Structure 1
Amino acid sequence: MAVPSVPTHMKAWVYHDFGNTADVLKLDSNFPVPQINQHQVLVKVVAASLNPIDYKRIHGILKASNYSPPSVPGYDVAGVVVKVGSEVKKFKVGDEVYGDINHKALDKPKNVGTLAEYTATEEKVLALKPKNLSFLEAASLPLAMETAYEGLERVGFSAGKSILVLGGAGGVGAYVIQLAKHVFGASRVVATASTSKQEFLSCLGADQPIDYTKENFEDLPEKFDVVYDAVGQPDKAVKAIKEGGNIVSIAAPVAEFPDAFFLLTSDAAMLEKLKPYLENGKVKPIIDPKSPFPFSDTLDAFAYLETSRATGKVMVYPIP
């Protein structure tokens, strides 16, 4: 295979200062293509998905544990390998890959993310794209699906256990429902969402959808082995746990459960473990109906994500 020529500069969405996304995120048509080290690959980005951590970083909420702009946002990617470092063993030029490019969500995250024509990352966070998935579908998966899976593993979730998912229609919650039901073998899955998303929860595999605008989950007589809090309601969440049960949270610390709160460690092993379930359709990509947004409309994609009304993932495709 002929090695594709890689330009020195590219189109990328860049912010040079922290602030409101619409004010500080700008399209740069002449941004340097990142260089790779011996353990990295350079990926020609085809599709990317947006996550709340992207706009939180832009807003500067996380700057105390972070880095200094200029920076390109974006964690999730699907694309084609165009260059490999000398120590890379897993991939070759031409491989179709996907993953979350940041091994630790807040520990030295990449300054050149995935909302660009090219991004560079370590081979350990990337996996070969399942052949039955499009680039768009694959890019919707990594951060949200890996977060859902890691949370369930952290609390030792297993077959026969019950779970309550707070925020079941969101990016992570939608995968918690699917994984709990179809991968871990939950005995019962209950999930919360707004009125318009009740049928969606059932389609994902929830045995009982709860409309949080009409019913307080913490007042249910039923209690659960695990509560997965994806919305940040720890005080209410603890009221729904069985004696001896557990809670996991991606949204807020939980005073009574100091180990409950976590941030994802991105690892291709998780993607590879879940590949059979993606290939047989037991776990499906969940893409918001308004997606994808074209690369040129990335600001509109962020504006929509920041409403917190998305059902599944907000996508940017094609790139550029």
Structure 2
Amino acid sequence: MKAWQYDEYGDVNVLKLSSDVPVPTINDDQVLVKVVAAALNPVDFKRRQGYIIATDSPFPIIPGHDLAGIVVKVGSNVKSLKEGDEVYGDVMERALAEPKQFGTLAEYVPVDEKLLALKPKNLDFLQAAAIPLAIETAYEGLERAGFSEGKSILVMNGAGGVGSFAIQLAKHVFGASKVAATSSTGKIELLKSLGADVAIDYTKENFEELPDKYDVVYDCVGKNVTKSFINGLA
């Protein structure tokens, strides 16, 4: 099969398209998925650069966590899926502690049954592949913050992958009393469409000087948490 893979750490130039990669075998608890669409996340390039070398799998490594595709083979212990099912999911259950050698940038990927779900019929394969890791991250962050119904939240970079899901989950799943989010000018309307009650254009407003306070600040930038606490936003 064809697959993108690399056999050394480095920049994007170490990533090569190979056409003679053996189709992976599956164990009894796995299915083989023919990949229709796959997504890349920041963890993929960080892994390629050697950030998790201490726990990484052997080379060559096929990157990619997210996929949407069609089940073509089923292990003997698999109960919830069958050949022909359209599925999506994140194939790396413990991405940092136990990264897998076979990622999703390939024609076929072996996946544990428990890591897949049936693709919603109202989503196409491209849309479904863009969801798993980002929404997992957003949900886990809200859980770790102890977010719950009636609380307020400020999401930094609400137009990004994790941020856009954090807005929607906080508003429509957790029942936030107030959702604020930051973005650049061109994405303000997107924030509102996702459910943000307050959309802040960081190119025009300094979020540190805003009068409102929030129960939780969800930082999807990586630079603003300390500033948020120092200035009393949370």
Q: TM-score, normalised by structure 2?
A: 0.94
Aligned-partner residue type, residue 142 of structure 2? L
- CA deviation profile, 1:117-153 (whole Å, cap 9, x unmatched): 0011111111111111111111111111121112212
Whole-angstrom distance in 1 between the partners of 2:58 and 2:229: 37
Contact 1:165 1:177 in 2 (8 A): yes
CA distance in 1 between counterparts of 2:62 and 2:227 reads 36
Matches within 5 A, 1:226-245: 226-233=216-223, 234-239=225-230
Report which structure shows greater RCO (CA 8 Å, sep ≥6): 1
Matched, 1:108 2:98: yes
User: Match of 1:74?
Assistant: 64
1:219 and 2:215 correspond: no
Give the equivalent residue in structure 2 for 1:35. 25
Hey, what does 1:62 align to over in structure 2? 52
Confirm whether residue 183 of structure 1 aligns to residue 187 of structure 2.
no
Equivalence for 1:299: none
Per the TM alignment, residue 241 of structure 1 is displaced from its structure 2 partner at its CA by: 5.7
Determine the C-alpha separation between the residues in 1 that align with 2:172 and 2:29: 35
Aligned residues: 233
Q: Is the aligned partner of 1:17 residue 2:18?
A: no
Query: What is the percentage of aligned positions where both structures have the same residue?
Result: 64
Q: Secondary structure at the match of 1:74?
A: coil
**2:84 corresponds to 1:98:** no
Q: CA RMSD in A?
A: 1.5
Are the equivalent residues in 2 in contact too, given 1:167–1:229 (CA < 8 A)? yes
Distance 1:202 1:165 in 2: 13
Other structure's SS at 1:146 match: helix
For 1:144 and 1:221, locate their aligned partners in 2 and report how far apart those are by CA, in whole Å. 30
Paired residue type of 1:109: P
Q: CA deviation at 1:69?
A: 2.3
Q: Does 1:147 align with 2:122?
A: no
Kindly report structure 1 stretches of 4+ aligned residues shifted beyond 4 Å. Answer: none
Q: Deviations over 1:150-187 (max 9, x none)?
A: 22122232222110001111110000011111111111
SS in 2 for 1:13: strand
Q: CA deviation at 1:104?
A: 1.2
Structure 1: runs of 5+ lacking an equivalent: 1-9, 246-320
Structure 2, unaligned stretches of length 5 or more? none
CA distance in 1, matches of 2:56, 2:84: 33
Give the 3-state SS of the residue equivalent to 2:192 in structure 1: helix
> 1:1-320 counterparts in 2 under 5 A?
10-21=1-12, 23-233=13-223, 234-239=225-230
